[in-house]
Structure 1
C-alpha cells in the first residue's frame, strides 16, 4: 500500500520529534549528573581545606570540654541550628553529655537550661546574625566558656568567643552562593572531629558505645548474647544408640535441622539434616544404623555468654548454620543462623 504524501511527512515529523525528545532526555541526565558531581567535589574540597584552619583553639576547646564538670550546650540559628542538633546527638552517643539551645528561643526563657559549669558552643557561618549578637553577651554574662564556630574570625562571634573553631569555606556549592551547603558540611565535619577527639581522650570503647545504643540492630550487635535468645525449651538430643527413625523424629519435632548426641550428660556429636541426606544417598537401608554411626564428632560449640554477633562470625567462618551451646560441659541448646538473622543482627 502506498501512503499519501502528507502521511509520509507526518511519520517523518513524528520520528524527528522522538529523536529530539531522546536528545533532550540525554542532555538533562548529563546536566543533572554533572551538577551532582560538582556539588560533591566542591564540598569534599571544602572539607579537605578545613585541616588548614585547625589551630590550638580547637585543641584547647576540646580539652576544656573534656575536663568540664558540666554539659556541653550547643546553640545556633537557621541551618546552623540543625547542624547543632546533629552534633549534640553524636556527642551524647559518644560519652559527652550535650544539650541543644535554639538561639532564638534562648532569649525567651530557654537560657534557664544553661548551668554554671556548662561549656557553650555557638555556631554561625557569618557570626553576625542579629540573634547571635543578642545572645552572645547574655551567655558571657553567665561566666561560661564560649566556643564559637564560624567562617569569619573577625565577626562579632569570632571576636567575642573565648575559643574559635574556624569553619571557613570559600563559597557555597549553591550556584547562587546563597543556600548553606559547603558551610553546613564544614560545621558538621568539625563537630564530628570534636566528637572523635573527645572519644579518644575518654578512651571510649565499643562496650561504652553499646551502653548508649541499647535499641535496634546496633544495640543488639553490641549487647545481645546467645543466652538472651537461646530457646531452652527446644534442645534436640538423642542417645548414641538411638535409631535413625528416632533421630529423624527428633530433628523434625524441634525444627532446628539438627540434634545433639548426648552420652553421660555430655555432647559427643551432632546430626544435621544434611547428615541424614548423605546417609540415605549411601545406604539402601538404615535399619541397622544408629545415631553414633552417622554423627559428626567434636561439633563446633560456644558458651551462652558470648555475643550473638560473635556467634554469627563463627557460623560464617565455618560455613555452617548451627552451633551447639555448652556451658561448663553442660548442653544448653542450639543456636541457629536463622534465629540470629531474625534478631536483625545483620
Structure 2
C-alpha cells in the first residue's frame, strides 16, 4: 500500500492530480474572463480612468483590502512601488484605530474586495467621502457598498472558485493578482520606467545583479593595464603583472584600443623564438572584443562566454576607458 493511499482516504494519487489540474483549469478560465473584460467598452474606459487618476496623483496610492484581498493588496503594493508608482498598504483593521491618519489629501485609495461588503472597510470609505479622497474600487459585486461608494469602480468578473464548496477564495484572488500586475505594468510603461530605474529600486540580490552596468564594475584609470603598440613584450608582461587581470590593452597615441595581449599570447610567444625586446604590436590580438560602459554586465558576461575569454576592455567610441574581468562579474552575482 502506497503512502498516498494511507493518508488520503478518498482515493488514488491520480484523483489528487486531477483535482490539482482542475484547479488550474478553473484559474485559467478566470484569467480568460478577466482578459475578455477589456473588450467591454465600459470596463476598458474605467481602467483608463483608473490609470489616469493614479498617474496624476500628487501623493501616494493607498492600497487596502481585508482577508485574502488584503494579502493580494500587499503584493500589488509591492509590485507598484518597485515599478515606479509610490504605493503603501493600509490594513482596514488598523484604519479605525489611528492609521487613517496616513491618508493625506494628496493621496488616492484603491480598495480591493471581492464581495464589496467587508465591514472593516467602512471607516476608510467614510473617511474618503468626508475628506474628498478619491476612492477606486475593485469588486465583483456591482450593487455592493464598495461599488456604490467608489469614484471609479473596476467590476471584476464573477468567477467560479476552485474550492469544491465555493467558499475558499481561489480563482477570485488569482484574477485580483493578475489585474494588479496588469495595472502595474500599464503604469510602468506610461511612466517610461526603464531598466535603470528598476535597478535603483533593486540594488541587491540576483535581480539587481542582472541590471548592473559595466561601468559600475569595471576597473578604470590607472588600474587599467595598457601599453602602446611599440612597447616591448617585456614591457607588456610587466604591465600585465602589475594589473593582475591576465592581459593588457594595446592602444595608439590617441588612447584608442587597437589590440589586446593576454597571458595566453605571452605563453605562445615565449615558447617560440621571439625575443622579449620585440614590439608587442606584432603579437597582439587585433580588433579585440570590447564592450561599452553603458552595457549591462550580464551582456559582458555573455560576450566572454561566447568568445571564450575572461577579460574585456571597455571603450567609448574606440577610446579605452576601462577593463572588466570575469571574476568581477561572478563576484557581483552576475549570471
TM-score class, shorter: 0.7 to 0.9
CA contact (8 A) 1:225 1:306 kept: yes
Equivalent residue number for residue 76 of structure 1: 65
1:21 paired residue number: 2
* Cα contact 1:265–1:331 (8 A) shared by 2: no
Distance 2:202 2:273 in 1: 55
Tell me whether 1:36 sits opposite 2:26 in the alignment: no
CA–CA distance in 2 between the matches of 1:327 and 1:62? 40
Question: Which residue is equivalent to 2:310?
Answer: 321
- Per-residue CA deviations over 1:145-193 (Å, capped at 9, x if unaligned) read 2121112112222222222212234322223322222111111111122
1:123 Cα offset (Å) = 0.9
Report the 3-state secondary structure (helix = DSSP H, G, I; strand = E; otherwise coil) of the residue aligned with 1:75. strand
Residue 185 of structure 2 corresponds to 196
1:34-79 alpha-carbon deviations (Å, 9 max, x no partner): 3332222221211111133341322222222222333211111111
Tell me the equivalent position of 2:283: 294
Name 1:271's counterpart in structure 2. 261
Q: 1:28 to 1:286 in 2, by over 3 A?
A: farther
1:210 paired residue among 182, 195, 199: 199
How much does 1:245 deviate?
6.5
Query: 8 Å contact 2:4–2:13 — kept in the other structure?
Result: no
1:248 CA displacement: 5.4
Contact 1:169–1:182 (8 Å) recurs in 2: no
CA distance in 2, matches of 1:87, 1:45: 22
**1:62 and 2:51 aligned:** yes
Q: Specify the SS of the correspondent of 1:178.
A: coil
Deviation at 1:315, TM superposition (A): 3.6
Give the secondary structure class of the aligned counterpart of 1:335.
strand
Q: Could you list the per-position Cα deviations for residues 58-104 of structure 1 after superposition, in whole angstroms to 9, with x for gaps in the alignment? A: 22222222223332111111111111111112222222222211111
User: Normalization by structure 2: what TM-score?
Assistant: 0.81
Distance 2:183 2:327 in 1: 40
Measured in 1, the distance between the counterparts of 2:50 and 2:141 equals: 18
Unaligned runs of 5+ in 2: none
The equivalent residue for 1:179 is 168
Structure 1: gaps spanning 5 or more residues = 1-19
Report how far residue 275 of structure 1 moved: 2.9
Cα shift at 1:195:
1.7
- Give 1:254 shift: 3.8
Taking structure 1 as the reference length, the TM-score comes to 0.79
Match of 1:11 in 2: none
Query: What is the Cα deviation at residue 261 of structure 1?
Result: 3.5
**4+ residue runs of structure 1 moved beyond 6 angstroms?**
none
Greater shift, 122-131 or 226-235, is seen at 226-235
Aligned pairs for 1:122-161 (under 5 A) are 122-161=111-150
Deviations 1:289-310 (A, max 9, x none): 8433432122233454554344
Contact in 2 for aligned 1:227/1:305 (Cα 8 Å): no
Structure 2 counterpart of 1:100:
89
3-state SS of 2:132 partner:
coil
Deviation at 1:332, TM superposition (A): 4.3
Structure 2 counterpart of 1:50, from 6, 12, 34: 34
Over 3 Å counting, the alpha-carbon distance change for 1:32 and 1:277 in structure 2 is farther
2:324 counterpart (319, 326, 335): 335
Aligned residues: 324
Query: Relative to structure 1, is the Cα distance of residues 248 and 193 closer, same or farther in structure 2, using a 3 angstrom cutoff?
Result: same
Give the greater-gyration-radius structure (CA).
Answer: 1
